[in-house]
Amino acid sequence: MGTFLLLMAQAGAVGSELAGKEGEAGFGLNTNILDTNLINLAIIITVLFVFGRKVLGNNLKTRRENIETAIKSAEQRAKDAANQLKEAQQNLEQASLEAERIKKAAEENAQAAKEAILAQAALDIERLQEAGAADLSAELDKAIAQLRQRVVTQALQKVESQLKSGIADDAQQILIDRSIAQLGGEV
């Protein structure tokens, strides 16, 4: 910025000198190349080269440093992203292994529960069969007892009816002898 102000001041001084000469000589065309633009251009180019080189060099250096910083930052972010991707893949692999282990354990638990249910069902069936057999046996015993009771009742009724009608002396003697023989005595 300082260079630009210096150039402006010099241009203003040169312009005022030219205006002063024109007032004395009037309007004219200066054909001397050395007096005109060539010297001004050489001065401007020299000033720009001397002072502009530093400014331009500093700007380019700053820009290069910014670009290098941006590249390093991008490389670091790429490395971080690669590391995060690697960790995510490892976590995914671990999660897959854990899911597989849980699935296998669930299948084993389901199989064990199935076997336990089947075993319990077999025990229940056996118990029901035993209870049914016991009930059947009890009903059979009850029916046999009822039949015996009927037979005894009918036998008693028959005996009573025969007793009422009277027993012959010979039949009565045979019955007494048989009863004594059964009791262990002799006749």
End-to-end CA distance of the chain: 164
Q: What are the b/e assignments for 46-74, b being 16+ CB within 10 Å?
A: eeeeeeeeeeeeeeeeeeeeeeeeeeeee
Does some domain include residue 158? no
Residue 3: pLDDT band (50, 70, 90) is low
Instruction: Inform me whether the pLDDT recorded for 187 exceeds 90.
Output: no
Residue 113: pLDDT band (50, 70, 90) is very high
Average pLDDT along the chain: 82
Please indicate, yes or no, whether the overall pTM of this predicted structure exceeds 0.75: no
Give the structural domain span for 70: 2-97
Does some domain include residue 31? yes
Q: How many domains does the chain have?
A: 1
Does some domain include residue 178? no
